[in-house]
Structure 1
Amino acid sequence: MAKSLYEGYGDETPKKFVREKFGDTNVYAQNAKSLLTKATGFIAAYDFTLNPYRGCQYGCSYCYAAAFSPNTKMRQDWGKWVIFKENAVKVLEKELESWYNKHPHQPPKIYMSSVTDPYQPLESKHQLTRSLLEVMLEYRPTLVIQTRSPIITRDIDYLQRFQHLRINMSIPTGSEAVRRDFEPRSPSIKARLNAIVKIKQGIDSFKGFIPKFSITITPLLPTLTTDEDAFIQKLAIADRVVIQDFHPNNHRSLVAGTRQEAENIKQRYSWWYDSEQLSYQRFKQKLLSQLPGVEIKEGKDGFGYE
């Protein structure tokens, strides 16, 4: 295991101490060297990714981002720790100013966030994401926000001021029982769908810009047969639906992959995963046939702004 500098993770004297407890989450604070990271892979169409936090309280069983934890023990404890980037606002101001000095007529394309949820519960207290939105408003980027949290509705006053904004709401399943198995710490499906409705209804098109909306069913989890048709009908609220398989399982650190925890849970849904590709294709065809007015995209192709 890599040497740990975080209180509670390792036997050595820590250099990063727990700043506070938020529920059962250890919250650490540290300064970031940068906020904007060159975008690659699935989101290579963007200039940068922006992650206000490191770690995520939702701790979803399948989350590939756990691979980027500071050490092996923290990877195993995914969801129970968060690192708050204390100087984020000042760093972002500096980096965006630098971008515009070099590209005065080219607003950056930013994806927020790739390895955390910018609206995890801690955001309700610290409002770090809100502060970063305020900074970005001055620089007019093309912005995509990836979240599974209804906390985003708090920021309608800022969201409506972005001319080029897409909100990706993550809803991997249409069944609450499945959600509770794979991501028990996350908001309900109903709360996420209601958040999209609230944003749409809360923006006056004469006074602000209505964002684009994607529902990202990534990874595609099973939806019980009894819930499937009703769930698909509710997806019509978005202009795009994105589906994607699980990441390949990978136990190495710093390599994105599906965690063993999710692989174990998948065994409870053999009726779906014994014929996973068939299940995937069947669900995709139902989306195409029942949502004629919605763009259906797969994998990397679905994560662009346009």
Structure 2
Amino acid sequence: MAQPKYEGYCECIPTKLVREKFGDVNVYAQNAKSLLTKATGFIGNYDFTLNPYRGCQYGCSYCYAAAFTPNAQMRQDWGKWVIFKQNAAEILAKELKKWYEKNPQTPPSIYMSSVTDPYQPLESKHQLTRRLLEVMLDMGIDGYPTPTLVIQTRSPIIVRDIDYLQRFKRLRINMSIPTGSELVRKDFEPRSPSIKARLNAISKIKQSIDYFKGFLPKISITITPLLPTLATDEAAFIEKLAIADRIVIQAFHANHSRSLIASTRQEAEEIKQKYSWWYENEKLSYRKFKEKLICRLPGVEIMEGKEGFFYE
């Protein structure tokens, strides 16, 4: 079957037109054939990955997900386009029912999301992720165990769904905060929410859930990739990380030009030159930061790479 041709990213007649503009982002709508993708590789311990969107408005300079784009031009324009899967809720309901027909007492484990942010700004309008949470919870109403869910995001929008989140018995929220310095964040991920907003979102989730009415999720802060934190910000940042029960750190993905393989974009490699004081001996910088986490956060689980992304 022919691949979709997106308006603005093809020289022929496009098959997918820009449905709307969200800021400077081209937004396309597309029906998905499937939504649950068999998890492999880095997150292979899950049953499925789930991505409500393709592309991401945050467009972080280092994001490996840019490799998984429809074409080279869209890869170059990472952050300037998003495809939302308009039939996502209907497809998920069908796929979960199919799972439970074969595994009536075994809930699937789902990682949401692996190549997008399920709470990017567009979610505030289209509410795809919220509808997907509702579908998962409806399985419980039908008598099936609710899926084990891990949500990976860097967005404060997640607090909108506290009413749904507290109904999951097995939920982990991974809040991505790669640096404790706003100056560094603005260099590497200028379109993303502030560090303070992300930490406040985690605080609100923990403070808003009524133990008698719901379940408190596990909380991870993923410092992935580990970016520099300025010396003036480091102590305060580490202290704030105590809000989580797990901290995950990881270095940059290897850089290469091939598509469909997780890779750090060249844009980030160029930004790294500004922080030579950290990257000239990156392994030592990484080790020292890890040692500080272990020393100053005795009650928090410090994990690295793949192991840190498991639910347990």
- Give the TM-score range, shorter chain: over 0.9
In the other structure, the counterpart of 2:190 is 184
How many Å separate the matches in 2 of 1:9 and 1:3? 13
Superposition TM-score, scaled by structure 1 size = 0.99
Report the counterpart of residue 88 of structure 1 in structure 2: 88
Whether 1:151 and 2:166 are equivalent positions in the alignment is no
Tell me how far apart the structure 2 counterparts of residues 101 and 87 of structure 1 sit (CA, whole Å).
22
Q: Match of 2:218? A: 212
* Conserved 8 A contact 1:4-1:10: no
Structure-1 separation of matches of 2:154 and 2:110: 18
Deviations 1:163-214 (A, max 9, x none): 0000000000000000000000000000000000001111001110000000
Could you say which residue in structure 2 is the equivalent of 1:300? 306
Deviation at 1:3, TM superposition (A): 7.9
Match of 2:209 among 196, 203, 221: 203
Match of residue 141, structure 1, among 141, 147, 150: 147
Determine whether 1:233 maps to 2:239. Answer: yes
Indicate conservation of the 8 Å contact 2:178/2:223, yes or no: yes
1:209 aligns to what SS in structure 2?
A: coil
Partner of 2:114: 114
Q: For residue 45 of structure 1, report the CA deviation from its aligned partner.
A: 1.0
Distance 1:54 1:27 in 2: 10
Structure 1 counterpart SS, 2:289: helix
Q: Is the contact between residue 31 and residue 86 of structure 2 (CA under 8 Å) also seen in structure 1?
A: yes
Q: Distance in 1 between matches of 2:287 and 2:198?
A: 25
**Deviation at 1:4?**
6.8
Q: Percent identity?
A: 79
- C-alpha distance in 1 between matches for 2:137 and 2:3: 39
Question: Which residue of structure 1 lines up, in the alignment, with residue 142 of structure 2?
Answer: none
Say which SS state the counterpart of residue 62 (structure 2) adopts: coil
Secondary structure of the residue that 1:166 maps to in structure 2?
Answer: strand
Determine helix, strand or coil for the equivalent of 1:253. Answer: coil
Q: Which runs of 4+ in 1 moved over 6 A?
A: none
Aligned to 1:56: 56
Aligned equivalent of 2:269: 263
CA distance in 1: counterparts of 2:76 and 2:138, whole angstroms: 39
Alpha carbons 1:3, 1:71 under 8 Å: kept? no
- Partner SS state of residue 144, structure 1: strand
Task: Report matched runs for 1:12-51 at 5 Å.
Answer: 12-51=12-51
Contact 2:4–2:16 (CA under 8 A) maintained in structure 1? no
Higher mean displacement: 262-271 or 39-48: 39-48
**How big is the shift at 1:248?**
0.0
Contact 1:4 1:71 in 2 (8 A): no
Report deviation, 1:253: 1.1
Alpha-carbon separation, structure 1, partners of 2:217 and 2:164: 11
1:138 to partner: Cα distance: 2.3
In structure 2, how many angstroms separate the alpha carbons of the residues matched to 1:183 and 1:146?
16
1:41 shift after superposition: 1.2
Contact 1:4 1:12 in 2 (8 A): no
Distance 1:201-1:3 versus aligned 2 partners, 3 A rule = closer
Q: CA deviation at 1:255?
A: 1.3
Q: SS at the partner of 2:29?
A: strand
| Counterpart-to-counterpart distance in 2, 1:196 and 1:247 | 26
| 1:282 corresponding residue in structure 2 | 288
Cα deviations by residue, 1:3-53 (Å, 9 ceiling, x for unpaired): 870000121110010000000000000100100000011111100000000
The CA distance in 2 between the partners of 1:250 and 1:297, in whole Å, is 26
Where structure 2 has 5 or more consecutive residues not aligned to the other structure, the ranges are: 140-145
Structure 2 distance, partners of 1:4, 1:176, is: 38
SS at match of 2:303: strand
Map Cα deviations across residues 105-159 of structure 1 (whole Å, 9 max, x no partner).
Answer: 1000000000000000000000000000000112300000000000000000000
Tell me the SS of whatever aligns to 1:138: helix
Q: Aligned equivalents of 1:3 and 1:159: distance in 2? A: 36
Give SS of 1:28's match: strand
Residue 134 of structure 1 aligns with an amino acid whose one-letter code is E
Does 1:171 pair with 2:177?
yes
Q: How does 1:2-17 map to 2 (within 5 A)?
A: 5-17=5-17
